[in-house]
Amino acid sequence: MDMFERLSPAPRLLMGPGPINAYPRVLQAMSNQLIGQFDPQMTDYMNQTMALYRGIFQTNNEATVLIDGTARAGIEAVLVSLIEPGDKVLVPIFGRFGHLLKEIAERAGAQVIAFEVPWGTVVPESTIESAIKTHRPKLLALVQGDTSTTMLQPLAEVGEICHRHGVLFYSDVTASIVGNELKSDEWGLDAVSAGLQKCLGGPSGSAPITLSEKAVSLIRSRKHIEEGIRTDDHISGSNSRIASNYFDIGMVLDYWGSERLNHHTEASSMLYAARECAQLNLQEGLSKVIERHQRAGAAMSAGLTSMGLTLFGDQSHKMNNVVGVVIPSGIDGEALRVAMLTQFNIEIGTSFGPLHGKIWRIGTMGYNARLDTVLTTLVALEALLTQAGVPVNQGAAYPSALAEFSCSRHAVDGVNHTSQATATEEG
Ligand SMILES: Cc1ncc(COP(=O)(O)O)c(C=O)c1O
């Protein structure tokens, strides 16, 4: 059989909606040798990871763990563990990932009540409250940042609405976490799930989650330990058994907790990555990390508009870390994306559903939320648009991105954020 060449991926700059280039420190962490899953050093790392993600999620929830798998593994674990067949689940949709929550909730047997607002907008809190009053769901499932539209759904008031009406509140924060504010406890969230491959700055393949005591007690009422490891002390819960074994959060919590139940084999290299992502973001400081995303995102938007391009969606609700750009008429958006990749080694994003072929999505996330990456991307885009005959304002993007980055609204500390990621890497 023919063998292939040794792995040697091209030095791409990933400026799409995620995945992005991982922080070098995360890649280094992943290259450490494996240890056994019940090795005391490993269980220490697990406890440290739980503590670090409490910081990332801004929560005191004991139940803060990793689900092995990509971000949708976290979504699926939360939904299949909380939803019993026939439960009413409310899913307001403002982009592709709301549809994903609806789909997973349906597969978990929920009676899903969904409604959709136009892509490029968010859902007013009053609309959520009136849907809750009408339908009396058990659970509200709401995306925070939907990369398909670049919109950031306000969550701060939603927990209070849910609390008033006795509804559990779950949010998928995969695309928004640490690039935008999230206060799980203060905002009354019962369940939150994430992924590493956006602003956290790691590879996909681990899904941090956190659950309130209320969510955990519901899951405990469905307790079922698989035969072969079940002992006489394991008493099954009175409610229905969770339909998935892999995503049974009760068993996952018993693995991460003091019992150390022998459930799955922890994906150790991904745990190293997740631990490093959390640690380096907390070392930089959450407010600084969010501010860096805000500044890089604002610089990218300023550069694009100065060039003469139009941004997509309600800019007052845009995520810090990704921007939608309307593809100028008369050019082939896909051909330009390919040219960005082949001529400049820069990846920018396509789009889905109603936006397919209409916008590009450009991200400034995690390790790549920096001034140099913004400037490089703008210069490459301007060159290719000019070559394609699009009448752009030549030379305008670079200075306006530079100016926006240095005097951005939230710039207060005088930190040189151009070198921030490098400093983090070494720190
Ligand atoms: C908001 C949101 N949720 C879920 C996902 C799915 O993540 P994964 O592909 O890691 O399963 C994504 C990926 O882009 C996302 O942006």
Per-residue pLDDT reduced to its tens digit, 1-32: 889 999 999 999 999 999 999 999 999 999 99
Best mutation site among 67, 70, 97, 146 for ligand 1, i.e. most ligand atoms within 8 A of its Cβ? 97
In this predicted model, what pLDDT tens digit does every residue of 376-399 receive, in sequence order? 999 999 999 999 999 999 999 999
Q: Grade residue 416 by pLDDT with cuts at 50, 70 and 90.
A: very low
pLDDT at 408: 61
> Between 3.40.640.10, 3.90.550.10, 2.40.160.10, 3.30.70.360, what CATH number should domain 23-283 receive?
3.40.640.10
In this predicted model, what pLDDT tens digit does every residue of 189-241 receive, in sequence order? 999 999 999 999 999 999 999 999 999 999 999 999 998 999 988 889 989 99
Ranges for all domains in the chain classified under CATH 3.40.640.10: 23-283
> Mean of the per-residue pLDDT values for the chain?
94
Question: Is ligand 1 within 6 A of the CB of residue 146?
Answer: yes
Q: How far is the CA of 72 from the centre of ligand 1 (A)?
A: 6
> Looking at the predicted structure, is the pLDDT value of residue 105 above 80?
yes
pLDDT at 427: 33
Question: Is ligand 1 within 6 A of the CB of residue 72?
Answer: yes
Q: How far is the CA of 71 from the centre of ligand 1 (A)?
A: 5
Which atom number of ligand 1 is nearest to the Cα of residue 148? 16
> Looking at the predicted structure, is the pLDDT value of residue 425 above 60?
no
In this predicted model, what pLDDT tens digit does every residue of 334-349 receive, in sequence order? 999 999 999 999 999 9
Q: How far is the CA of 321 from the centre of ligand 1 (A)?
A: 14
> Looking at the predicted structure, is the pLDDT value of residue 248 above 50?
yes
- Determine the average pLDDT of the residues in 278-294: 98
Q: Tokens 């490993």 sit at which residue?
A: 42
Question: Is ligand 1 within 6 A of the CB of residue 204?
Answer: yes
Nearest CA among 190, 204, 195 for reference residue 161: 190
Q: How far is the CA of 256 from the centre of ligand 1 (A)?
A: 24
pLDDT at 1: 86
Nearest CA among 39, 19, 411, 103 for reference residue 260: 39
Q: Tokens 């907008």 sit at which residue?
A: 121
Question: Is ligand 1 within 6 A of the CB of residue 119?
Answer: no
> Looking at the predicted structure, is the pLDDT value of residue 418 above 80?
no
Which atom number of ligand 1 is nearest to the Cα of residue 195? 10
Q: Report the amino acid identity of residue 10.
A: A
Question: Is ligand 1 within 6 A of the CB of residue 143?
Answer: yes
User: Alpha helix locations (H) across 58-124?
Assistant: 71-82, 96-107
Q: How far is the CA of 84 from the centre of ligand 1 (A)?
A: 24
Q: What is the pTM of this model?
A: 0.94
Question: Is ligand 1 within 6 A of the CB of residue 190?
Answer: no
Question: Is ligand 1 within 6 A of the CB of residue 141?
Answer: no
User: Alpha helix locations (H) across 285-417?
Assistant: 286-307, 333-344, 371-387, 397-406
pLDDT at 255: 96
> Between 3.40.50.1000, 3.90.1150.10, 3.40.630.30, 3.40.630.10, what CATH number should domain 292-410 receive?
3.90.1150.10
Ranges for all domains in the chain classified under CATH 3.90.1150.10: 292-410
Question: Is ligand 1 within 6 A of the CB of residue 195?
Answer: yes
Q: How far is the CA of 126 from the centre of ligand 1 (A)?
A: 27
**To 5 degrees, how large is the angle CA 207–CA 268–CA 29?**
90
